[in-house]
Chains A and B, each alone.
Chain A
Amino acid sequence: DAGVIQSPRHEVTEMGQEVTLRCKPISGHNSLFWYRQTMMRGLELLIYFNNNVPIDDSGMPEDRFSAKMPNASFSTLKIQPSEPRDSAVYFCASSTPGARDHAYEQYFGPGTRLTVT
């Protein structure tokens, strides 16, 4: 399996622009997580989906952030409009309860490094 795939790997954009981050979870995994990592705050959960349904979005900072999961193999995280304080590394992860010795273990993608100038 290719693991969790994220794109783009790096994104540089100007303040006010729309940014869309993409994630393809591991095939067969039914939970998908979006995280943000900054030096100040470390890793934080933004939102997670189970069976394509948002379960916990309490970490989404504000209305400028939105996430969708239209099907089991694709999710997007959108920031509109972007601000410099959104600069961070955004990770996507997936998991499944069905893996015998690895139930609920989370597999992380390589991350997207976002810089908003």
Chain B
Amino acid sequence: KNEVEQSPQNLTAQEGEFITINCSYSVGISALHWLQQHPGGGIVSLFMLSSGKKKHGRLIATINIQEKHSSLHITASHPRDSAVYICAVRSDGGGSEKLVFGKGTKLTVNP
């Protein structure tokens, strides 16, 4: 079993829909990262969080440490949100900065 599991693997939505991508992990963590990989291949960090909730524009990330679960929400989705969204965790052992990645969720937003 992978340490980081994402669901769904693929997601297709209509413009304007509310999107939720889930991430579950099995290890103790010091932080969880959400990354976005554009169709051209570039990777951008969206959020890094260790508790609670963060919001940036139409994007919201939440984490529940007890349940080892995080969600990424996109409100009023737009075709430009089409990308692969990747969850990654940094373990809480010994100050390591090593990230372990989920396989990603491919989001397609149709106009």
Contact A56 B98 (CB under 8 A): yes
A34 to chain B, nearest CB (A): 12
Contact B41 A104 (CB under 8 A): no
Q: Interface size for chain B: under 10, 10 to 19, 20 to 34, or 35 or more residues?
A: 20 to 34
Contact A42 B97 (CB under 8 A): no
| B interface: dominant SS | strand
Contact A105 B48 (CB under 8 A): yes
CB-contact partner of A91 in B43, B48, B100, under 8 A: B43
Residues of the B chain whose Cβ atoms lie less than 8 Å from the Cβ of A102: 48
Contact A31 B86 (CB under 8 A): no
Provide the A4-16 mask, 1 if CB < 8 A to any CB of B, else 0: 0000000000000
The distance in angstroms between the C-alpha atoms of A93 and B104, with both chains bound, is 18
Q: Interface size for chain A: under 10, 10 to 19, 20 to 34, or 35 or more residues?
A: 20 to 34
B14 at the binding interface (Cβ < 8 Å): no
A45 at the binding interface (Cβ < 8 Å): yes
Q: Which residue of the partner chain A has the closest CB to B96?
A: A56
The distance in angstroms between the C-alpha atoms of A111 and B44, with both chains bound, is 12
